Chains A and B, each alone.
Chain A
């Protein structure tokens, strides 16, 4: 009997009219937990009932507390017929089960009905009294904290990072049970919502048990997914990284070792000179060693991609013995683990030593009915197989661990593609064990690994490379070898030296496939997969080169299977890493060199490509310092020289082929145009339009090269579905349609968010699904963050300058606090320097003057408006007719004296009764400090309609539903006492329609971490202490670099 759950129903508001005769409602509430139900009294004839109930008490096991959701149903009492349900609220009480999180859930929750959507709100208070349980064999795991955030949460310190935890539970999907034929859609939806809620509770509890076994106290990077397998069942699976976390008592004591995206990262707990990173290699993409095989149950493992370079590098000898020692240490730490995987994408300084490259594995499976829900062995075995493969790929790259690890599925009918990917890496063992290794090794590490490039150095033996790679000496330290291109699935390490800014790079691909059944279908798919992977990779590589960049971060390749096609969408953030060599250009080679017009065409294309590269370099401010060749001793010409070379080639078409041969082998990327397909590829390369000026985009947490975020953020979800006309279903047409769909979507986003310029779209997350034969659905969730243009310009300087600047930047930041307090209306220029500075900024920013003018105009209007509301409220409280009347004299009555009016206006805040809750897919909030994590938000909703047209068609239906989902997330966070959701993700948005029947259904699954944040401007007290403490870390950073 370890817990007592107490619930109080306070009141309702805005209820729908349930009784047409009186235009009122006789509402009462049922509160259900497990098998116990309580009821409130009926509150007669009101749309705003005040139940003010007693405390309903449930005495329950903590196991149930973890699994079961609290279920609150609002009903309309009817004397003669059955009571009508108004709607429900499910409350996950998990956040109340660990001590540091929320202590009470109290607030207004939207009352949700799966058919009608939100119907009013209900005010509920929930508390839990937990009794200590000393039972060693308990089944519950209360107290284990869960975080969706894929880095160490801001107000914690990682003591030990234990490693991978995974679990899955299966069940029959209520939608496919026989009973579904006789029950109402509402009952069916509710059964499904409830089941999934139960299953995710159970899953979380089981994962928690595993964490306790590992002696951890938290799961970071927790990712839970649903596989709706249709007839064969419902799978809920989760992965995460078990850690032992320590709460930081006074975050101000820890100060930043380096410049960070938000000042909040200053809390980053481990103050050690930075030495870490990530890295992978490039060029010829497929590592064909692990050929595809067809197992009995039709599992096809598609060869893992190891992105490598081509050409063989020369051996380097330095660091040998040390590396070996390090490897040994790490190995021993990791060998105890079955899967040395980490779902984290950002790490404490010093954690990541080297990065090998992206590893991925896919497997095609045929689904069969899950016969025994209690034994989910088949699904477990499938995943174990894939993980094993990932592990072996990482080994091949000389790495013992995989970071930035994630898993996903794509299901169409009975075929399922399981995918896993991550970044092979060498880790610092210090964090993996109980602090035993700290000592000499650590020191040596820090001496040996220069900041900002260590992670780029290859982890594998140069003499014994697992694949052909083109190695050079690191451009930063000149001591170690680096590959020429690096692909990773993690975020850019905060101390990595980047030149210029990053950008979102996408590869998009469609492949038609014949409709087939079962095994034939699975075979067809598995035959297509390697080609798709290859092409996606080629596209990524081409686009990266076109941008003049040399590394990809946050790479995510999604392969979606449909009835008659496969779609591939890869997103990543391209950057120019200072440690890696300058990327070569793209050379086009023709197959028939004697054809004059063809030659001309080719040279024309070549010129276009070269121009684009030059333009991109300018756009993203990529101007690496010139390095003299003697120092490097590498055959790579310096960038300027090369671009000149390229240009001269394009002028004289005759020489092209020859030059290609000599040049291409070394570093340039050769595209051979031997057929129309290739032509198409080149064309498609050039169709990607860069974002309008003032806009940047990336799919990582932060935008490389921008570190001066201002506080305005806008999270959004955009969904598009297009119908393909079945006539033109060729691969090319498909590709074009898909490409246009994505490009148009991005263009729309830029247009919609233009008022935020200068801003950056961060964590841009595309999801593709194929709900029907000719439908393609793309869902995008991202956050737009504004930044300060003035400061941004400074960051393009070289590393040394940058590190010097850090100290001054930080000081300037301090100055800004008091200013921010008084000049809230100028959020885009938090520190107003000289007047000229501002003016030059606005003239540079490329925003039409008219647009500026209107926005300024608006703000004054807005101020007035809000003051009106304020004013009205004041008045409402003290209405004294006489007093108001006497003030109105004849003289004054006409155009109200403006001055008089302003005097009465109060500051335009705190007048909304609904507290603002921010949502962001990032782990931080710019300009603010997260002070508390309140628990995980994991919600699943179904919405169905039988009056699609009346609700504004499919767009109206989904628009309203997504808005409702946001509202419910915000309400839950607010009830927990939070004011933001970080690491928010919409994991699933399954939309089905049947316009002929006027019906549609949609399932949405979202998750994130509820937090409390405090604006930095409100933290002056803390900040005034910073300057002294601040210098030291940044100075050390500087020393390490030089």
Chain B
């Protein structure tokens, strides 16, 4: 006796969250059945393995049919074939577009091209995520990227509108798109200690302050491309370290303000010029694409690592950066206050986030 055909169709489409997760994780039907058996579901429900097999097949078939619609989530809302309550629709979409931290760290900042797709095998082996799941996640990134890349308006809003993602997930995708577009290097060994969350945080700050959209909300690509003019202008900041008087004055202002407040005051005092030079030089170099890509490497090398080696507590770093940014306003010879604020405001936020073990 063999089962030729075995289906279950509900007027309301049944979605089993556990099976959905297994499907999203890229398990084959037989693996999924084995995993479900291990979860103790048979004992809980008194079902047999055959029942579980049939149930799993059924759900996989449904998910397979739904996948086409999930590629364009608004279609899922308007289609008539599957009657799914709105809360379940949202769950399907949200889970489908969710991604693994380990995976996103591997592709963050890489070009979402065929070349990268070929590397998915390696990523799968390295991260232990199934190739199928890697492909889904990669295709999701690419799909979102393609849709919103040249669109006018806020990146997060565009993503939410076209993919109906939650606020949180849409922000994550905005970061992924932003990183992919600007090709920031995130894979270096030095940067391994950073989480996706760290990068996403920085991306959000940069999108808010450093992109075209920060000044003009009516341009294409406004949230994906950095404001070229702004980057050009950043060269002007160089005088903060090139002009020796300014540098000394800056240092003395910072030191006066922080004396007694910093646990690592002497280290700060000794390192001030190096740190300041590092931060300003990073800014000055951003005119070159290559250096833009290395932004995070530079920040870690020039600021995070020196501070860390002197064991600055995070609070001291915060006090220092605040004072460091604010003191510039008191430098009479320096005219680019607005530019400095736009640069340093964002950088300060990023650095504080990047500063951890």
Contact = CB atoms under 8 A, between A and B. Distances in A.
B80 A716 contact: no
Given A872-B160, A872-B161, A952-B61, A881 B86 contact: no
A716 B8 contact: yes
B88 interface: yes
A718 B8 CA distance: 4
A124 to B, nearest CB: 14
Interface in B41-71: 44-48, 50-52, 54-55, 57-58, 61-62, 64-65
Contacts of B349: 890
Interface of A is mostly: helix
B341 interface: no
B1 A752 contact: no
A108 to B, nearest CB: 7
B3 A881 contact: no
B227 interface: no
Given A723-B2, A725-B1, A869-B90, A751 B208 contact: no
A908 B4 contact: no
Nearest to B90: A865
Interface residues of B, number: 69
A44 to B, nearest CB: 23
Contact of B154 (A121, A879, A970): A879
Interface stretch (B11-19, B241-249, B279-287, B302-310): B11-19
A888 interface: yes
A919 interface: yes
Contacts of B93: 865
B12 A714 contact: yes
Nearest to A725: B1
A139 interface: no
A955 B80 contact: no
B47 A967 contact: no
A866 B51 contact: no
For the complex, would chain B's binding face be called helix, strand, loop or mixed by DSSP majority? Answer: helix
B80 A868 contact: no
Contacts of A740: 1
Given A881-B154, A952-B64, A872 B87 contact: no
Interface string A951-966: 0101110111011101
Interface string A895-931: 0100001000000110111101111000000000000
B153 interface: yes
Interface stretch (B108-116, B165-173, B262-270, B325-333): B165-173
Interface string A230-257: 0000000000000000000000000000
A970 B89 contact: no
A636 interface: no
A545 to B, nearest CB: 25
Contacts, number: 212
A754 interface: yes
Contacts of A9: none
Interface in B74-109: 75, 77-83, 85-91, 93-94
A875 interface: yes
Given A716-B11, A740-B1, A963 B161 contact: no
Contacts of B50: 744
B338 interface: no
A634 interface: no
A851 B39 CA distance: 12
B154 A991 contact: no
B27 interface: no
A722 interface: yes
B72 to A, nearest CB: 10
A900 to B, nearest CB: 10
A888 B208 contact: yes
Contact of B7 (A13, A747, A862, A962): A962
B296 to A, nearest CB: 18
A850 B14 CA distance: 20
Contact of A885 (B10, B52, B89, B208): B208
Contacts of A875: 157, 160-161
B161 A876 contact: yes
Contact of A958 (B5, B77, B81, B217): B5
Contacts of B156: 884
B25 interface: no
B194 interface: no
Interface string A4-35: 00000000011000000000000000000000
B205 interface: yes
B204 A893 contact: yes
A868 B164 contact: yes
Contact of B78 (A692, A879, A885, A913): A913
Nearest to B222: A881
A717 interface: yes
Given A955-B61, A967-B80, A719 B7 contact: yes
A955 B93 CA distance: 25
Nearest to B154: A881
A865 B92 CA distance: 9
A955 B157 contact: no
A748 B12 contact: no
A875 B170 CA distance: 13
A960 B14 contact: no
Contacts of B9: 716-718, 959, 962-963, 966
B6 interface: yes
Interface string A706-722: 00000000111111111
Contact of A720 (B3, B11, B201, B214): B3
Interface in A766-790: 775, 777
Contacts of A967: 80-83
B87 A865 contact: yes
A14 B217 contact: no
A650 B47 CA distance: 32
B1 A958 contact: no
B7 A868 contact: no
Nearest to A783: B11
A894 interface: yes
B154 A884 contact: yes
A955 B5 contact: yes
A692 B45 contact: yes
B80 to A, nearest CB: 4
Interface in A745-760: 747-752, 754
B86 A908 contact: yes
Given A865-B87, A872-B161, A893-B204, A118 B81 contact: yes
A1026 interface: no
Given A121-B80, A862-B88, A955 B6 contact: yes
A827 to B, nearest CB: 12
A990 interface: no
A885 B206 CA distance: 12
A747 B54 CA distance: 11
A861 interface: yes
Contact of A754 (B45, B82, B160): B45
A890 to B, nearest CB: 5
Contacts of B62: 959
Contact of B77 (A876, A901, A912): A912
A309 interface: no
A751 B47 contact: yes
Contact of B166 (A777, A868, A954): A868
A871 B90 CA distance: 12
For the complex of A and B, list the 3 residue pairs with the smallest distance between their C-beta atoms, beginning with the closest: A865-B90, A862-B87, A721-B5
Interface of A: 13-14, 108, 110, 118, 121, 692, 714-725, 737, 740-741, 744, 747-752, 754, 775, 777, 848, 850-851, 854, 858, 861-866, 868-869, 871-872, 875-876, 879, 881-882, 884-885, 888, 890, 893-894, 896, 901, 908-909, 911-914, 916-919, 952, 954-956, 958-960, 962-964, 966-967, 970-971, 991
Given A896-B167, A962-B7, A964-B81, 10 more contacts: A716-B9, A861-B91, A866-B87, A888-B208, A912-B86, A914-B79, A914-B80, A955-B57, A956-B65, A963-B82
8 contacts: A722-B1, A723-B2, A862-B90, A876-B157, A952-B64, A959-B7, A964-B81, A971-B80
